[in-house]
Structure 1
C-alpha cells in the first residue's frame, strides 16, 4: 500500500471537539425573507420551506433526508463556489481535478462525466435539469439550494441513484424594491463582486437583475516551464421576469448568460527524468534483420523538470490547459391553480459551448515537444415538464406528469497521436508524427410519464408512484488518423531496436462498433414513502426508491477489443431509508436521524489508464471475428497501451446520517452534521492494473497483463469512490449586539478522516476550518467581515495518479496530483436594501 505522509496530526482536544460537533445540523433554520434587509427574527420561529417532494413543505415534514443551504447562508459564509456547499452537507463532495469536469459524490456514490452515462447526482436549476459543468460555475443571487439524498426515480424527470441537487435562483418581488451588493477580495488575487435587485413595475409585473464577476487562482499551481500561474475568471448575468396577473397564476421567465475562462496547470511531483535524451545512437544493418538502432549512454543532464515535492503546487507541462465555457440558459416556470388541482410547467433551453486546449503530456516527458489536444464541445439541451397535482391538504392526493428532454451537439477533438518506439532523442526522428481527429455527434431523447397516489391526514401521510421512461439515442464516433510519414523503432532484444519506416497515410476508424451504437432502452422506476407524526414535534418516516441508469459505449477503444470493455449494461438500484425528525426546548434544538441501505445491480463506474494487450490475434484486430484469445505469458510487447474503461459491478451502500441544529442562546447559533456511508463493491470483477500479478491494483514495475484477457481483472470489495465512510461538518455564529451594531464571530468546520482509495493509496485526514470576524448593522442592511479559509493551512492530497506519467515508453519521472487550496485571507463588504 502506498501511504501519503501526514505532516500535521490533530491534537486530541480537536478530535474530541469535532466528535462533539458531529451531532448537529441545519435541519430547521430561518426561511429567507424576500427583503434581505428584514429584521432578523428568532431562527427557530420559522421552518425552512422546501420543494424536495415537488410540493411546498417544511423541512421537518418532508419524508426524506435533505440538506438545505439558503441564500442567506451562502452570503454569510462567503461561499462563492458551489463546491463549498459540501461544508453544509456531509458526505457530499464536489471536485474538479482538471478545470473541465465537475464530479459529484454523495453517500459514497460517484460519477466520472467522461463515462457517458447519466450522473449519480442529478442537478436541477429552477427545476430544469442542467449540466454541473455550467450550474456549478457561477453561484450568485441564490434563493436556496437543496441536497436530496437517496435514489431518485419518481419526483423529477431524470433518474439518479445517489440523489439530486436543486438550485433555485432569487425571484423578483412584486411589492417593493429589494436587492443586495457584495464585494470580496483575498490575498491570493481572488475577487468576487455580485449583486441583484428586484424592480416591481406593478403588483402583477416585476423584474430581477443580477450579475457576477469572479476571479481566483483556481488550483493554485504555478507552471515553472511556462512561467504561468493557474487562474480563473467568470462573468455572468441573469434576468428574471415575473408575471402574476391573478392570485391563481404565476409565471417566471429567466435568462442567464455565463462566460468562464479557466487556465488550469496540472500539478505534478517527483524527481523528474531524462526520458527523451537517453542516448545518441548509431544505425547498423544486420543481414536478414534490417536496420538496427544501437543506443549509447550520452551523459545528457537535461531533465523533464526539477525534483518537486507534494506541497510545491508546481507543474512542468510545455503546453497550456485552457477551458472556455459559454452558456445560455432560458427557463420558464408557471403555476396555475385550477381550484382542486394545480397545473405546473417547467421548460428550458440551454446552449453551451466548451472550447478546450490541453497539453496531455502533463509531466513534460517529451522535452522538445508537447502533446496538444484541441476540442470544441457544443451542447444543446431542450426540456419540458407538465404536471397536474391535486391541492387537497388532507384526504386522498394524486398527481400525473410528463417529461421530455433532447440533447444534441457534435463534439470535435483534434489531438496529437504521435508514437514513440524507444527512449531515443527526439532529434533522431525515430517516431511517427500523426494527428487524430475525433468527431462525436450526440442526439438523444428521453421521455417519461409519471403518476402517484397518496393519502394524508393530520398525522399520517402515505404516497407512492411510478415513472415509465423511454431512452432513444445513438452513439457514434468518427476517427481519422493521419501522418506525413516517419520512422519508429521497436525492441529487438539485447538493447537494440529495429527501425521501421512508415510512409504517409490517412485512415478512417470506426470509434464505436456498429452493433454497439444504438442506445434504446426503457425503464420503470418509482418510489413510496410513509410518515407518521407521533407528536406535533416528533415524526418518523420510511421511504423506498428505485433508480435506473442506462449504459453507454466507450469512444475510441482499441480496435476489436472485447465488447464487455466497450459497452456497459444498464444499472439498477433499490434504496430503503428510515428516519426520525423532531424538535425540543421550544424548537431551540432540532434533529434528524436517518439510516439507509441501497443495493446496486451493475453499478456503473470508470476505470482510467488501464493497460491492455492485443497480441496473438489471427486477424491482428485484437479480438475481431475469427481471432484467438491473447496469451499474456508470451506476448511481446506485454502491453500495447492504455485506455479508459466503463464497467459494471454489483455493490451495496449502507449508512447513517445524523443532524442537529441548536440555538443555545438568542445570540449563539450552532449546527453540525454527521454522515457515515459504507459504499462497497460486492466481489465485483472489474478492470485494473495488476503489474505484479497478485490480484490487487498496482502500477509498480513493467506494465504487464495478468490472465489471458485483453486487460487485467481484479476481484474487489473496495470502495466505489475515493471518499471516507465518515464525514462531519459544523458551523456556528456568536453575536455581541450593541446599541446600533452587532459584532460577530463565526466559523465553518469540516472533517474528513484518513481513507485508502480504490488504487490502494492511503490519504491522510483533512480538517478544514473557515473563520470569520465582522460587524453588521442591527437591521442587517450592511456588513463588513474579514475571513480566513483553511485556517490550519493543511495541504492535503485530493487526487493522485497511480504511477508516473508516461508518453509511450518515455517516463516523465512525475506523478500528477491535486491538493487542497492553501490558506487564504479575505475581506467582504455587503449592503442590502
Structure 2
C-alpha cells in the first residue's frame, strides 16, 4: 500500500506539474500560432520551418505527418542519447546497441543484419548515412524531423516507413554566437558540449566549431567474472564553413570526426545452473558472467556539402557527402558462461565507405506551376571481415562441459553497391485553397553480395554470391485543400521499394528461398487535417493511414534447421533427413498490412504554459504469411522440423502461418511534454516534464509479454532573461521502473557438435532493461 502511494504521488506530481506536456519540446504537424514570448521555452509552431518536401515550408503547411524538434528543445530536455528522441514521438522506437542500430516506426521494424535498406532511413544534412554513426552522438543540432510514411520520391533512397532528417547548426555570417552546456548525473554520467560561430568576412565567410565529450555507464551492467562494468566514452568535433560570395549563392561545408569506445556487457537473469557454479541472478542485480568482453569501437569521418545558386527563374542545388567509418566489434558468444573457461569471441570489422552526390534544379515560381528535377548517385565499398569461431564441441553425456577443438574461420564479405536515381516533382496550385503535388523517382540499383569463408588447413569456400540489378519506380502524390487559415485537409499516396537480399550467414546446404529473399513493394494511403482554434493558441492535427506490403522483408532468428546428412564435421549434403542440426537466422518475405491513426493536440493556452500530447494507434500485421519458425517436440522439448504441405519443396525448417505483429511494439503509444514558467523577471523559474507511455505487448517470437511502462522525466530550474543561461536539476525515469525491453528466446546455451541433444545451459536469459532512476544537474550559457 505504501509503495503504491509513493508511486501514485510521484505520478501525480509529474502530471500536475507537466500535464498535457509541450508543443515546444516536440511538435507534430501542429498549427498552433501561439504568442511569441521571448522568455518561453518553446518556439511557436507557426514559426517552425521544415524541409520535409525539400523546400522550406511552415510546419503547418506540409501535407504530411511529421515530428519536429529544434536544437534548443533537445538541449533543454537533456537528450544526450539519440535513442531518447523516441520519448518525444509516439510509435518511434530507436535501437542504439552499437553496430546493429535501427529505427522502428508505424509498427515496422528493421534488423541491420538482414542486408536490405532500412525501414526508416537517416539523413544528416540531407546526406544518407548509417545509423551507427548518427546514433552515437547528438550535439549542436539545429533541427530533427521525423517524416512518417513511405519515403523515396524526394530523397535519395527509398524507405517504406519514414525518414529521420538531422540538420546541424550552420555558421552565422553576421555575428559571433554560440553556447556551452554541461551535464552530470549521480550515476557517473557526464556530457560537455558547445559550439561557436565566428564571422571571418562579414556576410561572406564564417566558420562554426563545435565539440562533444560524453561518458556514461550504458546499461549499468557489472561483469563479476572480469571485474569491470559497462561504460561508454565518446569524443567528437565538428567544423563548418559557410560561404556566400555573391547574393543568391550559398555554400555550406561540414566536417565531423567521431570516436567512441563502448564496453557493453549483456545483462542476464534467471535461476542459473548450480552444476557449473552459475548462481541465481535477478533483474535488479544487473550482472553478467561472460569471460570475454563485448566491445565496440567506432571511428568515423564525415563530410557534407550543401550548395545553392539562385539563377533567377531556377535554383541549382547540390548536396554531397563522403563518409569513412570503421566499426570494430568484439563479442563473447557465451554471455551466460554456459561453458566455463571457454570464450568464443567473434570479431567483426565493418567499413562504411560511402560517396553521395545529388544535383537538383528547382523552379522559383511560387504561383500556379512549380517543378524540380534531379539526379542522385551513391557508391559504397569496403570488405566486412568476420573472425568467427567454428569450434567443434564434443559432448559427453553427464559431463558439465564439452571437449573443445578450436576451429577459426574468417568470413570476408566485399561490399559493392552503386545507385543512380532520376527524380522529378511538380506542384500545381489552381486556386489559393487547392494544391496538388506529385513526385517520382526511377532508381537503378546494382549490387553484389559475395561472401567466402576461410578455414586454416581446410581451404576457402563460397557462402553466397548474389548479384542484383533492380529498376524500381517510386513516387508520391498529395492533394491539399485549405478550407480556412485555421483548417487544412490533405490526402496522400506513397509507393516504396526495398530490393532482394541474400543472407550471407546462412547455413550450408539449404534451399534457395532461405538464402535469397524477394524484393519488397508497398503502397500507402493517408488522409489528415490540421486545425487551430482559441485564437490559434491550440491546435489539433489528425491523420489516418493504410499501407499494404507485398513481400515484406524481415529477419527470423534462432530457427531450428535440418541441413541434410552430415558427410564430415560441419558439411552437409542431400535432402533434409529429419534431424535437427543447428539454429540459424533467415531473411524471409510475407505479405502484410499496416493501418492506424495519429493525433496531436498542442498549444500555448497562456504565455507561461506550453503543452503537447501526441498518440498513435498502429496495427501492423502479417497477412496469412508462411514464415520460418521453430517447433518443439511436446515430449522432449527439443526442436523438430515439421514439413508444411502448403509450402512444398525442400523443408530445411518448419514454416508457420502467421498473422502476427511485424515488430514487438504495442499498437498504442503516447508521448506528452510540457513547461510551466513562473513570473516574467530577469530570473524565471520553470518546471518541465516528459512522459512516454507504452502498454504491454506479447511477442510471439520471444514468447514473452513485455510489461507496460510509463517513463517520466522531470526538470526544475531557473532561466535568465531571453534564455541566455539556464540551470536545472532533473530526474530521469522518476518512477524507477525496471522494465524488460528485449529478451532472448530461451536461455543462453550451446549444443554439442557431435550430438545436438546434449545441451550446455547457462540457466540465464539475456535481456535489455530500462535504466534505473537517475538524478542530474545541468547548466548552459548562450552568447
Q: In the alignment, which residue of structure 1 is the partner of 2:749?
A: 806
CA distance in structure 1 between the aligned counterparts of 2:189 and 2:59, rounded to whole angstroms:
35
* 1:105-144 alignment, distance < 5 Å: 105-144=104-143
CA distance in structure 1 between the aligned counterparts of 2:132 and 2:546, rounded to whole angstroms:
29
Shift of 1:688: 1.1
* 1:73-92 alignment, distance < 5 Å: 73-92=73-92
CA distance in structure 2 between the aligned counterparts of 1:740 and 1:366, rounded to whole angstroms:
64
Shift of 1:369: 1.3
Contact kept? 1:21, 1:729, Cα under 8 Å: no
Change (3 A) 1:86 1:390: same
Q: Which of 759, 762, 773 is the aligned partner of 1:823?
A: 773
- Quick check: 1:703 aligned with 2:676? no
- TM-score normalised by L of structure 1: 0.87
Contact kept? 1:775, 1:783, Cα under 8 Å: yes
Change (3 A) 1:394 1:9: farther
Q: In the alignment, which residue of structure 2 is the partner of 1:246?
A: 246
Contact kept? 1:423, 1:810, Cα under 8 Å: no
Shift of 1:569: 0.6
Where 1:84 maps in the other structure, the secondary structure is helix
Contact kept? 2:509, 2:564, Cα under 8 Å: no
Q: In the alignment, which residue of structure 1 is the partner of 2:514?
A: 565
CA distance in structure 1 between the aligned counterparts of 2:182 and 2:394, rounded to whole angstroms:
55
- Quick check: 1:748 aligned with 2:690? yes
Contact kept? 2:173, 2:204, Cα under 8 Å: yes
Q: Which of 578, 583, 604 is the aligned partner of 1:663?
A: 604
**Which string of whole-angstrom CA distances, capped at 9 and with x for unpartnered residues, describes residues 226-285 of structure 1?**
1111000110000000001222110101000000111000011112226xxxxxxxxxxx
Q: In the alignment, which residue of structure 1 is the partner of 2:496?
A: 547
- TM-score normalised by L of structure 2: 0.93
Shift of 1:734: 0.6
Contact kept? 1:191, 1:215, Cα under 8 Å: yes
Change (3 A) 1:778 1:199: same
Change (3 A) 1:247 1:587: farther
Task: Return 5+ residue gaps in structure 2 as ranges.
Answer: 645-650, 752-758
Shift of 1:45: 7.7
Change (3 A) 1:820 1:711: same
Q: In the alignment, which residue of structure 1 is the partner of 2:754?
A: none
**Which string of whole-angstrom CA distances, capped at 9 and with x for unpartnered residues, describes residues 555-595 of structure 1?**
13221211111101100000110000011122210121000
Task: Return 5+ residue gaps in structure 1 as ranges.
Answer: 1-5, 275-300, 483-504, 695-699
**Which string of whole-angstrom CA distances, capped at 9 and with x for unpartnered residues, describes residues 608-650 of structure 1?**
11110123589999886xx44x242xx3xxx111111011110
Change (3 A) 1:406 1:353: same
CA distance in structure 2 between the aligned counterparts of 1:588 and 1:509, rounded to whole angstroms:
67
Q: Which moved more, 1:308-317 or 1:712-721?
A: 308-317
CA distance in structure 2 between the aligned counterparts of 1:579 and 1:396, rounded to whole angstroms:
24
Contact kept? 2:27, 2:45, Cα under 8 Å: no
CA distance in structure 2 between the aligned counterparts of 1:111 and 1:575, rounded to whole angstroms:
18
Contact kept? 1:23, 1:658, Cα under 8 Å: no
Q: Which of 415, 427, 450 is the aligned partner of 1:476?
A: 450
Q: In the alignment, which residue of structure 2 is the partner of 1:510?
A: 462
Shift of 1:393: 1.2
Change (3 A) 1:370 1:44: closer
- Quick check: 1:764 aligned with 2:707? yes
* 1:485-500 alignment, distance < 5 Å: none
Q: In the alignment, which residue of structure 2 is the partner of 1:26?
A: 27
Where 2:640 maps in the other structure, the secondary structure is coil
Shift of 1:29: 8.1
**Which string of whole-angstrom CA distances, capped at 9 and with x for unpartnered residues, describes residues 54-83 of structure 1?**
111111100000000110110110001111
Q: Which moved more, 1:157-166 or 1:451-460?
A: 451-460
- Quick check: 1:645 aligned with 2:594? no
Contact kept? 2:19, 2:673, Cα under 8 Å: no
CA distance in structure 2 between the aligned counterparts of 1:690 and 1:818, rounded to whole angstroms:
25
Where 1:352 maps in the other structure, the secondary structure is strand
**Which string of whole-angstrom CA distances, capped at 9 and with x for unpartnered residues, describes residues 652-709 of structure 1?**
0000000111212111111110011100000111111111479xxxxx9222222271
Contact kept? 1:23, 1:660, Cα under 8 Å: no
Shift of 1:43: 4.5
CA distance in structure 2 between the aligned counterparts of 1:664 and 1:102, rounded to whole angstroms:
39
* 1:402-413 alignment, distance < 5 Å: 402-413=375-386
Change (3 A) 1:703 1:452: same
Q: CA RMSD in A?
A: 2.7
- Quick check: 1:359 aligned with 2:332? yes
Change (3 A) 1:585 1:766: same
Q: Which moved more, 1:98-107 or 1:66-75?
A: 98-107
CA distance in structure 1 between the aligned counterparts of 2:227 and 2:684, rounded to whole angstroms:
46
Q: In the alignment, which residue of structure 1 is the partner of 2:658?
A: 716
Contact kept? 2:49, 2:57, Cα under 8 Å: yes
Q: Could you say which structure has the larger radius of gyration?
A: 1
Change (3 A) 1:8 1:224: farther
CA distance in structure 1 between the aligned counterparts of 2:688 and 2:392, rounded to whole angstroms:
56
CA distance in structure 1 between the aligned counterparts of 2:460 and 2:333, rounded to whole angstroms:
23
Contact kept? 1:616, 1:631, Cα under 8 Å: yes
Q: In the alignment, which residue of structure 2 is the partner of 1:233?
A: 233
Contact kept? 1:29, 1:43, Cα under 8 Å: no
Contact kept? 2:10, 2:734, Cα under 8 Å: no
Across the two proteins, how many residue pairs are aligned to each other? 759
Q: In the alignment, which residue of structure 1 is the partner of 2:681?
A: 739
